[in-house]
């Protein structure tokens, strides 16, 4: 069986250089890395990863805790984490927690037992959260205000308020909302922004204009039944994510309503499909990929022993106007 010394002789490089090429490839030149890889392939060398991790006290692996691996917004964010991790020579392990604290704890133990170097949490922090845990290096991404450890996010309340304010500027006074689950922090923050915008416009909040969804296509599709059956239906809908908004578009069409002629619809996230649905969706663009990149970069700084001055990094959002909204008189 080939050893690291054999690879060193075959490549013409020192054992130290070969070791760096295997454990931290970004630290060696492209030419040296190519020579090492050629030697490894020729000799069929298989490094002893267990002993290597023990010596370095580093696994070059991070964990991403995702509450719903099928959520399209999370998929975009994770792609940003993956790209950044690859640049740093790290692997990414996805932990599909399904909003279960016990499943979270299982993945967190990988860091506690040094089988991973750190983690990124995609669930907003609440008073029942497992994190933070002492000596566990962690960053929260796409969360909400009040996270008691490092976080990267947008201002969900402000974003929702600006979207509803835009609808008001277009002449809409009766604006419905399809929210997420009542106990979801994203849902609460976005509903707070909705209420604030109404208050600023002198429009009374009406509980009958808010329908609870669960961030899925189906819940948006199902929610429009409530609005269609109202004696005075809203002229616009603000949906707490794009999936519910796209579901609402389909539901409204099936009820014989035209968007935006009969009712305007807006979303939140700016998923790729928001630009391709019919009609294209007016929405709030969250920088999902950048959020993942920034969260990963922040985590790697912490893993390297840095103590960043800021604990909260708030990224900009953007209102994207498309054909699902129109002005009313």
Which residues, in sequence order, are bridge partners of residue 119? 63, 138
* Pick from 50-59, 104-113, 157-166: least confident: 50-59
Share of the chain above pLDDT 90, in %: 75
pLDDT digits (tens, 9 = 90+) for 128-156: 899 999 889 999 999 999 999 999 999 99
Range of the domain at 17: 4-56
Note if the bond before 291 is cis, omega within 30 degrees: no
- Mean pLDDT, residues 192-213: 98
Shared-domain flag, residues 16 and 110: no
Highest mean pLDDT among 52-66, 116-130, 245-259: 245-259
- Count structural domains, the chain: 3
User: pTM to 2 decimals?
Assistant: 0.81
Rg, the chain, Cα only: 24
Decide if 302 contacts 118 (C-beta within 8 A).
yes
Q: Specify whether 171 is located in the same domain as 256.
A: yes
Closest CA to 36 of 16, 8, 56, 5: 8
The per-residue pLDDT for 197 is 98
Position 57 confidence tier, pLDDT thresholds 50, 70, 90: low
Instruction: Report the C-alpha gap between 41 and 19 in whole angstroms.
Output: 15
| CATH code of the domain covering residue 83 | 3.40.50.2300
Same domain, yes or no, for 266 and 178?
A: yes
Residues 185 and 90 in one domain: no
**Residues 245 and 307 reside in one and the same domain:** no
Contact 292, 141 (CB under 8 A): yes
Does one domain contain both 303 and 246? no
For the stretch 227-241, pLDDT in tens is 999 999 999 999 999
Let me know whether 269 and 162 are in one domain: yes
The label of the residue with tokens 């969804």 reads 213
Are residue 166 and residue 278 in the same domain, yes or no?
A: yes
Residue 138, domain member (yes or no): yes
Chain segment 272-294, per-residue pLDDT in tens = 999 999 999 999 999 999 999 99
The band of 64, judged by pLDDT with boundaries at 50, 70 and 90, is very high
- Mean pLDDT for all residues in the chain: 92
The beta-strand segments (E) located in the chain are 61-66, 91-96, 118-121, 138-141, 151-153, 175-179, 210-212, 236-239, 264-266, 283-285, 312-314, 318-320
Residue-level pLDDT at 55: 45
**Per-residue pLDDT at 48:** 60
- Residue-level pLDDT at 93: 96
At residue 49, does pLDDT exceed 80? no
Stretch among 53-57, 245-249, 294-298 having the lowest mean pLDDT: 53-57
Say whether pLDDT at 124 is over 70: yes
In this prediction, residue 192 carries a pLDDT of 98
CB of 237 closer than 8 Å to CB of 178: yes
For residue 133, being part of any structural domain is answered with: yes
Could you tell me if residue 245 is inside a domain? yes
149 and 211 share one domain? no
Structure confidence by residue, pLDDT tens digits, 77-99: 999 999 999 999 999 999 999 88
């Amino acid at each position: 069986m080939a050893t690291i010394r054999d690879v060193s002789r075959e490549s013409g490089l020192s054992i130290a250089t070969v070791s760096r090429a295997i454990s931290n490839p970004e630290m060696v030149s492209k030419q040296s890395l190519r020579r090492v890889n050629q030697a490894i392939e020729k000799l069929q060398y298989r490094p002893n990863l267990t002993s290597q991790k023990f010596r370095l006290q580093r696994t070059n692996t991070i964990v991403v805790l995702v509450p719903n691996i099928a959520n399209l917004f999370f998929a975009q964010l994770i792609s940003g984490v993956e790209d950044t991790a690859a640049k740093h020579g790290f692997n990414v392990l996805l932990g599909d927690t399904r909003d279960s604290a016990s499943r979270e704890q299982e993945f967190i133990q990988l860091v506690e037992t040094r089988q991973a170097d750190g983690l990124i949490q995609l669930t907003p922090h609440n008073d029942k959260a497992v994190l933070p845990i002492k000596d566990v290096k962690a960053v929260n991404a796409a969360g909400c205000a009040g996270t008691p450890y490092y976080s990267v996010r947008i201002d969900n309340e402000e974003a929702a308020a600006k979207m509803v304010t835009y609808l008001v500027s277009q002449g809409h006074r009766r604006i419905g909302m399809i929210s997420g689950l009542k106990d979801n922090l994203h849902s609460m923050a976005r509903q707070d922004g909705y209420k604030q915008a109404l208050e600023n416009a002198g429009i009374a909040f009406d509980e009958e204009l808010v329908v609870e969804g669960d961030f899925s296509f189906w819940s948006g599709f199902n929610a429009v039944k409530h609005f269609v059956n109202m004696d005075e239906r809203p002229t616009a809908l603000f949906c707490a994510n794009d999936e519910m908004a796209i579901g609402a578009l389909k539901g409204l069409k099936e009820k014989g309503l035209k968007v935006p002629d009969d009712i305007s619809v807006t979303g939140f996230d700016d998923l790729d499909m928001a630009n391709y649905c019919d009609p294209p969706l007016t929405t709030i663009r969250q920088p999902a990929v950048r959020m993942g990149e920034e969260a990963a970069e922040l985590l790697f700084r912490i893993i390297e022993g840095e103590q960043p001055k800021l604990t909260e990094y708030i990224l900009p959002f953007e209102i994207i106007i498309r054909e699902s909204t129109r002005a009313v008189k």
